[in-house]
Amino acid sequence: MNILYERVLRRLFFKLDCERAHDLAVLAMTLLGRLRPLCAVMERLNRLPAGSAPVEAFGLRFPNAVGLAAGFDKHATGWPAAAALGFGHVEIGTLTALQQPGNPRPRAFRYPAHEAVINRMGFNNHGADLAARRLARQPGPGRRAIPLGVNIGKSKAAPLDKATEDYLASFAKLADYADYIALNVSSPNTPDLRKLQDEDRLRELLGAITAANRDRAAQPGKTRKPILLKIAPDLTWRQIDAVLSTIAEFGLDGIIATNTTLARPGCFATVNEAGGLSGRPLRAPSTQIINYIARTTGGRLPIIGVGGITDSESAGEKLDAGATLVQIYTGMIYRGPFFARDLARHLSTRQMRPVLGY
């Protein structure tokens, strides 16, 4: 199926504007998710061979190591079909407390020769209220085929000094429906968002979210939600050390490394489009950061590795560097809808080997 996609369907999709093609893909996934008997059959066909061990991380069980990264299903409509495509988990969003249109179009651009994308979407989404209503109509935690992560970020209209309150509003509306919550403080496309990675601001945010999580868990019928932080690939090692210290202070459950990059390596130095670069050029930088985090924490902090996964080798590299799970998005644009299934099957049978030179 992926060969058919790469040789035929991708050519048709790539004749469309990048965002238009994305919207059609999400619509197709949304329609598939409504055909539950078909999804159930596809889930069975795409399961790993008998004897394959699930992945355990932050108190959750994942049927395989490959997830769909945030950014694909921004409106919480297509995720019910993720397991049918072979994913072991799915992360929706980024969702914000307020509905917002995002940045002006065009705002997403493909670079096929480099299997890359630049986007400046700007957290376009329908808002936490509508997402919560959609999630309430679907099976909740413990009743789904795969774990669901909910990625939340700052509303553009919220000033930086009100960011914590904005995240708390989204957390309160969405936590009931999530298997884990991811805090996005690293998108380059919302003004000032990355300043939340600064130590003082990050301590304020994580302190408030973890306190709200404890208060929520004290309520009858509620449970504590695993909290993960998604970081940028453009941080210095000293900045990463500060982030890891803050994560340890507040007992976060994991880290997602990494988001898109503002760097323009190699031939991208002459590209004038603003936004975050993803895809193959991000492979080495994200792997370096994963390896650094794993070595710094002694492997105690679960890592979801994201960035530059375009084949089984680059996916395995992330696990060898210290990731527990991986996520894909741009790679699926170039490899097709069953890319996750193929990666998961390969990763379930490979031998781990250390990554050297990072």
Token pair for residue 281?
A: 């050029």
Would you give the DSSP letter of residue 247? H
- Is 103 marked as binding a ligand? no
* Cα angle: 280, vertex 19, 76; to 5 degrees: 95
Retrieve residue 206's tokens.
């994580």
Is 20 a known ligand-binding residue? no
**DSSP classification of residue 268:** G
* E-strand stretches of 116-234: 116-119, 148-152, 180-184, 227-231
Annotated catalytic residue: which of 155, 170, 186, 187? 187
- Among 221, 227, 284, residue whose Cα is nearest residue 255: 227
Give the CA angle between residues 248, 249, 254 to the nearest 5°.
Answer: 35
**Integer angstrom CA distances of residue 271 from 36, 191, 243, 276:** 43, 21, 31, 12
297 labeled binding residue: no
29 labeled part of a ligand binding site: no
On whether 230 is known to bind a ligand per the annotation, the reply is yes
Structural contact between residues 86 and 144, judged by C-beta atoms closer than 8 angstroms:
no
Can you spell out the DSSP letters for 271-306? ----SEEEEGGGHHHHHHHHHHHHHHTTT-S-EEEE
On whether 260 is known to bind a ligand per the annotation, the reply is: yes
- Whether 178 has a binding-site annotation, put simply, is no
Residue 225 is labelled as binding a ligand: no
Measured distance CA(307)–CA(156) in Å, rounded? 25
The verdict on whether residue 258 carries a ligand-binding annotation is yes
Give the bridge partners for 116, in sequence order: 111, 279
CA dist 317 and 339 (Å) reads 16
Q: Is 70 annotated as a binding residue?
A: yes
**Residue 187 falls in the annotated catalytic set:** yes
Q: Does 308 belong to an annotated binding site?
A: yes
Binding site annotation covers 259? yes
> In this structure, what are the phi and psi dihedrals at residue 356, rounded to the nearest 5 degrees?
-105, 155
296: Cβ contacts below 8 Å, ≥ 6 apart: 240, 241, 244
For Cα atoms 326, 36, 328, give the angle at the middle one, nearest 5 degrees. 15
Enumerate the known binding-site residues. 70-74, 94, 119-123, 151, 184, 189, 230, 258-260, 279, 308, 329-330
Enumerate the known binding-site residues for FMN. 70-74, 94, 151, 184, 230, 258, 279, 308, 329-330
Give the residue numbers marked as catalytic.
187
Enumerate the known binding-site residues for substrate. 74, 119-123, 184, 189, 259-260
